[in-house]
Amino acid sequence: MANNFTIESIDNIIIKPQKLTPNDWIEKIDKFYVFDDELGINMMFVTKDDDRVYGLGANINGSLGLGHNQWVSEPQEIIELSHKKCIKFINGSEFIVCLTRDNCVYSCGKDRNGQLGQGCDSNKYKKPMIIQINDKNDFIRDVSCGSYHTLVLTDNNDMYGWGRNHFGQIGSRDTTCESITKPEKIKFNDNYCIKSVHCFDNLSFALTSDGQVFSWGQNSSNQLGLNCYNLIIFRPQLICNLSGITSIQSGAGKTYFSSDYNNKVYICGEYYNENNVIDIQMTPKLLGNCNEFSDIQSIKSYKWNERSFMCSMNDIIYPLYNWIY
């Protein structure tokens, strides 16, 4: 499952027991981003004084942008990203997307489903290259990656997507295709102001400024919350009777929608009923064990063990069980 995290300041992070960098590098790091692949952990970091970008780790899919998929045991400079003022990294299953302060989007890694947005698809391990989103150089408000696709939101309320479209997760066409290799614009009703985009595996969500949610892509377990039996949703559709949402998290056949306005969490998709048997909830319903939680900050789902956790503003971690009213 893809992860979406802004690169962090070294001053705000407690480094976990697994050692990734030699001690003499620690003081040089300004920001860093950690992600995993099939073989282990990867790290990309930006240095304080000279704005250089380095990578090290398992690199099984060439996601570090070094042009190969060999293990990298010592920090190696990623020349194409150095001095570019990188402010955000996001990873899919086999690739990385980078957003810079100068409003440029770069991609690197494996490109077999067009997920690099470079106009072609191949199994080669590619170094970072800039993606041409449109001809207007709009300010990029948000970026999110699924397993093999990416969505970008501009300050003009325009949304673009590229990559694998086997389940309609790009949202720009009425049919499926294996890959969309260049950014395509996704049509939205102008009456809605999109605040953020959220990609997970083979599905996509858009969150509006007033907390409403659009969804599209794979709907095999009704994890899109649309009250329909279609296995694929090709275009963004509004989820009815859901508002005030501030955070979305999807994985393992289910989706959570949370609100820090009323401290509620809603779920749709697969869940365990009162007989501890897997059932399907087609539309979002209140998660029964969350009625007393407060200060919800985020929810994370982990596909490999089908577990989900919620983090509060005071850093309390709650396991989420899929009981609903």
Q: Where are the domains of the chain?
A: 1-131, 135-164+185-325
- pLDDT, residue 109, reads 95
Mean pLDDT of 113-136: 91
What does the alpha-carbon distance between residue 227 and residue 269 come to, in Å, rounded to a whole number? 10
Residue 312: which pLDDT band, with cuts at 50, 70 and 90?
very low
- Give the residue from 99, 118, 98, 102 showing the smallest Cα distance to 110: 118
From 230, 299, 308, 312, select the one nearest 271 (Cα to Cα).
Answer: 308
Cα separation of 165 and 149, whole Å? Answer: 8
In whole angstroms, give the CA distance from residue 46 to residue 289. Answer: 41
Residue 209 pLDDT: 95
**Backbone phi and psi for residue 43, each to the nearest 5 degrees, phi listed first:** -145, 135
Of the spans 13-22, 89-98, 270-279, 288-297, which averages the highest pLDDT?
A: 89-98
Q: Which of 5-9, 25-29, 88-92, 96-100 has the lowest mean pLDDT?
A: 5-9
In this prediction, residue 40 carries a pLDDT of 84
At 299 the pLDDT is 55
Q: What are the CB-based long-range contacts (under 8 Å, 24+) for 185-189?
A: 185/134, 185/158, 185/159, 185/160, 186/151, 186/159, 186/160, 186/161, 186/236, 187/235, 188/157, 188/159, 188/214, 188/236
* Sequence-distant (≥ 6) Cβ neighbours of residue 11 within 8 angstroms: none
Query: How confident is the model at residue 298, as a pLDDT?
Result: 53
Paired with 279 in beta bridges are 271
Instruction: Provide the mean pLDDT of the chain.
Output: 84
pLDDT (0 to 100) of residue 303: 45
pLDDT for 22 = 62
Tell me the pLDDT tens digit for each residue of 199-238. 999 999 999 999 999 999 999 999 999 999 999 999 999 9
Share of the chain above pLDDT 90, in %: 63
**Confidence at residue 200, expressed as pLDDT on a 0 to 100 scale:** 93
What is the pLDDT, as a whole number, of residue 300?
Answer: 55
Q: Is residue 273 pLDDT above 50, yes or no?
A: yes
The token pair that represents 68 in the structure block? 């190969």
Span 3-62, pLDDT tens digits: 443 444 444 433 343 455 566 778 889 999 999 887 789 999 999 999 999 999 999 999
Per-residue model confidence (pLDDT) at position 23: 67
> Residue 206: what pLDDT?
98
Whole-model pTM: value is 0.85
pLDDT of residue 163: 97
Angle at 172 between CA 139 and CA 198, to 5 degrees: 60
Q: Which helix (H) or strand (E) holds 24?
A: helix 23-26
Question: Residues of 165-185 as b/e, b for ≥16 C-beta within 10 angstroms?
Answer: bbbbbbbbeeeeeebbbebbe
pLDDT in tens, 131-190: 999 888 889 999 999 999 999 999 999 999 999 999 999 999 999 998 999 999 999 888
Dihedral in degrees, nearest 10, Cα atoms 291, 294, 298, 303: -30
178-196 pLDDT, tens digit per residue, is 899 999 999 988 889 999 9
DSSP-derived letter for residue 225 is -
The pLDDT of residue 305 is 39
Query: What is the CATH code of the structural domain delimited by 135-164+185-325?
Result: 2.130.10.30
